[in-house]
Amino acid sequence: MLELKLNRILTHLATSSVVIDDLIARHGKANVAYIYCDYRDQTSQTVVNILGSVLRQLLTTASYVPETIYTVLESIKKQGQRAEIGDISTMLKVLLPRLDRSFLCLDALDELESRTRFTLLKALRTEFGSARIFLTGRPHIELEVNRALQIQLDAMHIEANEDDIRGFLIHEIEEDMNINPDDMNKQLREEILEAIIGKAGGMYVLSFFIHISFGSIYAQPT
């Protein structure tokens, strides 16, 4: 359990949350959508659901919703069906150009199922107009991202700091021990710390912004 928490703290807590909070502070919540990917939720984290979540976030805070979107939603409701990728694509293409500046943040992209990830990356080229896109993931997906987006990205590498990992783990262990003080002794605590810190050594994530505009993609490190 601690190792799962460690993977997440190195991505969205250490990187994405800071970026998302800054974007919201600068540009307003209405212009920022974000997804935290989780390998334990791969069944529900499909391309349709991810893009649908992005659309829902933007619609919830939009000051104006184009009539075309109401028409598409009404049609889906009348047919008693779920929205398909084509429906969501149509609505995103109508909504995004009306936003002053839109941002999409996808955290821990490597935790998506590989086919879902590749399809989602390709969708970014066609569905998001002039949106600025922020991605994080572990190093092994860098070539895949380049291939799907057909560009060479300059990524920022963020490496885990041993002192930060130790401090985080001690905090988590102490919280657990407050609830169940008999479940762990000092020796077991040290064994857990050394095992996880040793395994995490050299772990790092990639983070980069992508600006898609009129069919061209420009990448810049965050």
Give per-residue pLDDT as tens, 71-130. Answer: 999 999 998 888 999 999 999 989 988 887 888 888 888 889 999 999 998 888 777 766
Please give the pLDDT value at position 52.
Answer: 94
Average pLDDT over residues 182-203: 74
Please give the pLDDT value at position 162.
Answer: 74
Q: Predicted confidence band at 211 (pLDDT cuts at 50, 70, 90)?
A: low
pLDDT at 147 over 70: yes
Please give the pLDDT value at position 107.
Answer: 86
pLDDT at 156 over 90: no
Q: What average pLDDT is seen over the chain?
A: 78
pLDDT at 190 over 70: yes
Give per-residue pLDDT as tens, 126-138. Answer: 777 667 888 888 8
Long-range contacts of 93-98 (CB under 8 A, 24+ apart): 93/127, 93/129, 94/66, 94/68, 94/69, 95/55, 95/58, 95/59, 95/62, 95/65, 95/66, 95/69, 96/58, 96/128, 96/129, 96/130, 96/131, 97/129, 97/130, 98/62, 98/64, 98/66
Q: Predicted confidence band at 158 (pLDDT cuts at 50, 70, 90)?
A: low
Q: What is the CATH number of domain 2-160+202-221?
A: 3.40.50
Please give the pLDDT value at position 206.
Answer: 58
Please give the pLDDT value at position 33.
Answer: 92
Q: Is the pTM of this model over 0.75?
A: no
